[in-house]
Amino acid sequence: MRLRAVPALLMFSTVATILGASSVYTSAPWSQVSAHQETRSTGSAGSDAEARAFVDDLIKKMTLEEKIGQMSQVPLNSKPDRPVDEMIRKGEVGSFLFITDAAEINRLQHVAVEQSRLHIPLLFGFDVIHGFRTIYPVPLAMAASWDPSVAEREQTMAAKEARATGIQWTFGPMVDIARDPRWGRIVEGAGEDPFLGSRMAAAQVRGFQGAYLGAPGHILACVKHFAGYGAASGGRDYEESNLSDEQLWNVYLPPFHAAIEAGAGSVMSAYMDLNGVPATGNRFLLHDVLRDDWKFKGMVVSDWESVRSLTTHGFARDDEDAAVRAVNAGVEMEMTSHSFRDELPAAVKEGLVKEATIDAAVEDILMTKYRLDLFKNPYIDVPNAAAQLVTPEQREAARETTIRTAVLLRNEGHLLPLSKEYKSIAVIGMLADSKADIMGSWSLAGHPADSVTVLEGMRKRFGLEARISYTKGVEIEREQPSIFDDQFASPKPTMKTEAERDTEFHHAIDLVKQSDVAVLVLGELQSMSGERASRSSLVLPGKQEQLLEAAVATGKPVVLVLLNGRPLNITWASEHVPAILEAWYPGTEGGDAIADLLSGDANPGGKLPIAWPRNVGQIPINYARNLTQIPEALNTRYWDGTSAPLYPFGYGLSYSSFMMGNLKLAEPSVHAGSTLKVSMDVENTSSRDGDEVVELYTHQRAGSASRPVRELKGFERVTLKAHEKRTVILTLDTKDLGFWSPQTHHWGMESGVFDVWVGSDENATEHATFKLLP
């Protein structure tokens, strides 16, 4: 089944005039991907021509079974169905995942290179999502930095540790746009906006891969989950995504394209059905879009057992049909299940799959290994591997990143930073002293013992100035176990009776009463976010809300620090708790960084990458919605309450204060294909150095289709010294004004009048207009 009425390539036809609107239709921005990929693919491993000659010669020597072996990836976190060394020697495996022991990785590589017939090296993969051994803030937090250099640095540091251990391939970045915080995997992406998401996607690819594929100390990126996974029905992980063509092309695909344009060497197909067709068997996605339209030259891997799962979807009739459909759709390596290995040899002989299809897949896999320099340098320096982990350099980078990603949501009466007059501080909350939970999900190679908790950070920073008291107050746990409990578990509750829980609750409130100020660290266990961690509610789990309200009722000043991977229902807190700091899951150095922020040694400057709902009934509440009937009453869509978010997209406070004004456009009109300079004066009106993010939004007033009321099209995070005033110049690229029209079925830039706003969040008020000319 096709997902639209017209062939993919017809979307990008040239000039057209539709409904009397003068429209400029050009080649899509992704039409230039091929040359860029070639540039980023070359490096120390040699030229592309040399690589292809080597690979083509190798393929000619391979048996069909050896080719299909290269297309098989085997997990080592459970016992394989065949002896590992035997599989390697026979050429039955091309890649392993879920192994982090440097010595064993090297041993297996020696078996492949020295004992297999064709001496083809193995590719070792692992989920390096937000750090390897040193854990950094989760990807949603990266996006909250509104600074692509933060994301690039984080993944550069993560790649350094992983590569030293023998990992050559990460299954990241995840670039799925997510507009439903009930979905557990929202924590792994950049939030709701395709422009911000695209910038973060490209930055992460650069961080993982370096200047070129195969750069020393870097690893292969894998962009996932292609495509539409973040639109899971009801926010329920793995469920179908039903997207219009307009939403797919304009919202969900752009971050994937940005990552590929940045040189990403691999792509992972998604689990779910997209408009009725499973993504892993979806030729439209994996061939028409990825290969024909975007000219992607890397390799495609399935998600975990998603080839075999084509039968579960009711799409394939059996394992053979699943293997045939997946490989013919464009999947080149099967992750964990063995449908390719077991079924493709016969399928080729039966004519269900052409051997040329197998050859093309193997060519991409071997080209990737060649570009990674594995044929020349397959081994690692095992004695030196451990010395590269959790180094002072890594800890410093993790701490700085956490500071850059925190978002100050509320600070009434300037409660923060904490005054030195406070001589006693109560730190309350199970999460305040949980070494595992501060790391966040997908910290599988991390060691909780390396983590600095909030309590530890507070004691180090404030211990000589104030008395620090601590207790849990309440405990929380998932109602259902996590699929990762065996690999990375959160602490289990220790209080078994209601009497114990009641005593602990009142003990916490007593500590608040006995202290000058209370810091409550609340949120979710790391196992409550991530894969298969969707929720039907956004309330604080357990009795954390009651604990918070009781603490506030004491009359003592309360600071709420959130550790979480999604927006939570903090509507009551937004009205009654004077200070709220969103710290996300900050990672190994989280406790020290949070103490830096609470003390004023650091100044928060992050912004929200997703609009924050007041309650679950408002979902979805993304800012980029279309104008409709009664446009002046956008926030009165519900009769029983406001339809405005609790906090808007792009929102975040600082200990500094800023003013923006004097918006200027370099020209009143601009031609399609060029750029427009937009300037804004930004002034730090406080006596404290701080960061502000200058955000640029546009709106197309008329065209072949209705366009969102506002769309982010530019931003820059700037640091201003106390009382400094600076003119910030943003460059608006007119290609970013283009869109895929559901009426014309083309991508293009349409001439006409555009609004532009510049400010500190989606509600920016500084306004101007310009004309886009053909």
Provide the annotated active-site residues.
303
Contact of 183 with 232, CB cutoff 8 Å? yes
Nearest 5°: the CA angle 72, 97, 331 is 40
What's the token pair of residue 156? 């550069």
Nearest 5°: the CA angle 217, 203, 746 is 135
In angstroms, the CA 75 to CA 81 distance is 10
Contact of 116 with 85, CB cutoff 8 Å? no
Query: Which residues in 635-741 belong to E strands, given as ranges?
Result: 658-665, 669-671, 675-684, 690-700, 711-720, 725-733, 739-740
Buried b (16+ CB within 10 A) or exposed e, 439-465: bbbbbbbbbbebbbbbbbbbbebbeee
Q: How far is CA 241 from CA 229, 246, 286, in A?
A: 7, 14, 16
Q: Where are the alpha helices (DSSP H) in 484-589?
A: 498-513, 544-553, 571-576
Closest CA to 204 of 161, 168, 175: 175
- Alpha-carbon dihedral angle through residues 576, 581, 585, 586, given to the nearest 10 degrees: -160
What's the token pair of residue 415? 């409660």
Q: How do strand 95-97 and strand 72-75 relate by DSSP bridges?
A: parallel
Length of the chain: 774
A 10 A CB-CB count for 603 gives 21
- CA 44 to chain CA centroid, Å, is 29
Q: Positive or negative CA dihedral for 268, 269, 270, 275? A: positive
Nearest 5°: the CA angle 548, 550, 556 is 90
Segment holding 597, helix H or strand E: helix 590-599
Q: Show the 3-state SS of 224-250.
A: EEECCHHHCHHHCCCCCECCCHHHHHH
A 10 A CB-CB count for 623 gives 22
Contact of 298 with 265, CB cutoff 8 Å? yes
Residues 6+ apart with CB under 8 A from 153: 207, 397, 401
Asked if residue 227 has a cis previous peptide bond (ω within 30° of 0), the answer is yes
Residues 6+ apart with CB under 8 A from 553: none
669 forms beta bridges with 771
What's the token pair of residue 668? 């009143």
Q: What is the DSSP string of 106-138?
A: HHHHHHHHHHSSS-PPPEEEE--SSBSSSB---
Asked if residue 417 has a cis previous peptide bond (ω within 30° of 0), the answer is yes
Residues 6+ apart with CB under 8 A from 495: 475, 501, 504
Q: How far is CA 34 from CA 13, 191, 263, 299, in A?
A: 19, 28, 9, 14
In angstroms, the CA 771 to CA 754 distance is 6
In three-state secondary structure terms, 559 is strand
In angstroms, the CA 334 to CA 337 distance is 7
